Amino acid sequence: MDTIFAVSSGAPPAAIAVLRLSGPQAFAAAGRLAGTLPESRRAGLRALHDPVDGALLDRALVLTFPGPRTASGEDLVELHLHGGRAVVRAVEAALGAIAGLRPAEPGEFTRRALLNGRLDLSEAEGLGDLLMAETEAQRRMAVRATEGEVRRQVEAWAQRLLAIAAQVEAQLDHSDEDDVAGADSLGRLHAAAGVLARDIVSVTARPPVERLRDGLRVVLAGPPNAGKSTLLNAMIERDAAIVSPIAGTTRDRIEAPVVRGGTAWLLIDTAGLAEATADPIEAIGIGRARAALDEADILLWLGDDAPPPHPATLWLHARADLPGRAETGKDLAVSAATGAGIDLLWARLERLAEMLLPPPDMVALNQRQRALASDAAAALSRAALQHDLLLLAEELRAARRAFDAITGRAGVEAMLDALFSRFCIGK
């Protein structure tokens, strides 16, 4: 196993740069630069010298953390350097010249932590989200994942699955030659599998954490010249999109990320949905606008005709300062010209966000975890209808594999292996 090193504290220049080394040679390599190392988990000030020519590189705080109880699960050293670019570069060069040491790949410290069982995959995913978190809501959700909230939820499901599998085992023990269970006990098995499937679906039905992470996608759409781009600019209080009286001004979709009310939003302006156009570029834009409609979490519809079907639409009476257009059936009047209705629009969006974002105090899954949990629920639903015990057991096994994939854990099939080891070959 290589020993890896990298600056963990962000791009220099900075006041201090924390360079971490992880791996079997971490202590020896740090010793080559620092001489005697401080007592474990205690900071010590050391002159760092180039092992090749003895030149002084920096005077730094050095910490050593003996594995496996470290962030990476390996021997780990931290050099708290002066954060100048050349200082960091010189120390990295000195480390890179030591055989068996190399710069770390992105995420490699965490990858090793995962490998060493210091955290599971859902916690590592949470850590990734935590590093990217920009809003309070994102930080809160991510920190709970890093603390094992998703792992514990999956473990609880896996425990219940295990109990069902144990009942299958008991049934197999009692049914002598054939695999047919008693009707009562089979009914109980089916009920337990069905209840577990429904409990899983109640969690997978919640909005995915990506909505929180990437921002709620609010698409502004409608016919040409409806005032979409002007409204976008008014909502974010800057001129992100070109505005003009010419119909068909916007062609590309324009994405404007904005944080508002503690929520991350991605506002998307689109080309006006003209009935027909002779302009091939506008036609491409219209195609993109239609694609954006499919991805919208919320649709802001600026047409006078009824909006296209979408689960969350606000139908806006845009350019409300201009007289002569009917307002019937619309949700809200706004005018980018006077500013009327813009705050109200944001308030309506924030209320919709409460329904579309994962609830702040319940476990929420990301799309990868959701897909796997849905696989598990589907397998359990099939199990709940299965009368052949061996096929039922096979569905339970599939559910178990899905749970294991969520947490990234392997080789936990001991119980199921024991179960199936008694089966006839060829069954």
Which residues contribute to the site for ligand FFO (CB under 6 A)? Answer: 18, 65, 69-71, 78
Q: CB of 28: closest distance to ligand FFO in angstroms? A: 20
Q: Which of 22, 138, 250, 366 binds Mg ion (CB under 5 A)?
A: 250
Q: In degrees, to the nearest 5, what angle opens at C-alpha 397 toward C-alphas 396 and 400?
A: 90
Strands 313-317, 263-269: pairing kind: unpaired
Q: CB of 234: closest distance to ligand GTP in angstroms? A: 8
Give binding residues for GTP as ranges.
225-230, 244-250, 269-272
Regarding 229 and contact with Mg ion (CB under 5 A), the answer is: yes
The answer to whether the CB of 352 falls within 8 A of the CB of 298 is yes
Residue 226 binds which one of ligand FFO, Mg ion, ligand GTP, none, with CB within 5 to 8 A depending on kind? ligand GTP
Q: CB of 216: closest distance to Mg ion in angstroms? A: 21
Which tokens go with 277?
């156009």
Tell me whether residue 71 or residue 137 sits nearer to ligand FFO (CB atom).
71
Residue 319 binds which one of ligand GTP, Mg ion, ligand FFO, none, with CB within 5 to 8 A depending on kind? ligand GTP
Q: DSSP state, 207?
A: P
Residue 397 binds which one of Mg ion, ligand FFO, ligand GTP, none, with CB within 5 to 8 A depending on kind? none
Q: CB of 254: closest distance to ligand GTP in angstroms? A: 10
Cα separation of 121 and 115, whole Å? 10
Give binding residues for K(+) as ranges.
225, 244, 246, 249
Q: CB of 255: closest distance to ligand GTP in angstroms? A: 15
Tell me whether residue 271 or residue 393 sits nearer to ligand GTP (CB atom).
271
Long-range contacts of 355-359 (CB under 8 A, 24+ apart): 355/312, 356/207, 356/211, 356/216, 356/297, 356/298, 356/312, 357/137, 357/207, 357/211, 357/212, 357/216, 357/263, 358/141, 358/206, 358/207, 358/208, 358/209, 358/211, 358/212, 359/206
Tell me whether residue 78 or residue 395 sits nearer to ligand FFO (CB atom).
78
Tell me whether residue 22 or residue 138 sits nearer to ligand FFO (CB atom).
22
Tell me whether residue 31 or residue 223 sits nearer to Mg ion (CB atom).
223
Residue 78 binds which one of ligand FFO, Mg ion, ligand GTP, none, with CB within 5 to 8 A depending on kind? ligand FFO
Residue of 92, 112, 114 whose CA lies nearest to 103: 92
Burial class (CB in 10 A: 0-12, 13-18, 19+), 201: middle
Give binding residues for (6S)-5-formyl-5,6,7,8-tetrahydrofolate as ranges.
20, 78, 118, 427
Residues that bind ligand GTP (CB under 6 A): 224-230, 243-245, 247-250, 271-272, 319, 321-322, 335-337
Cα separation of 294 and 309, whole Å? 10
The answer to whether the CB of 253 falls within 8 A of the CB of 288 is yes
Tell me whether residue 44 or residue 194 sits nearer to ligand FFO (CB atom).
44
Residue 65 binds which one of ligand GTP, ligand FFO, Mg ion, none, with CB within 5 to 8 A depending on kind? ligand FFO
Task: Spell out, one character per residue from 187 to 226, where the chain touches Mg ion: x when CB under 5 A holds, - when not.
Answer: ----------------------------------------
Quote the distance between the C-alpha of residue 186 and its chain's center.
39
Residue 80's DSSP bridge partners are 18, 61
- Mention every residue, 6+ apart, whose C-beta is less than 8 A from residue 361: none
Half-sphere CA count of 126, side-chain side, radius 13 A:
24
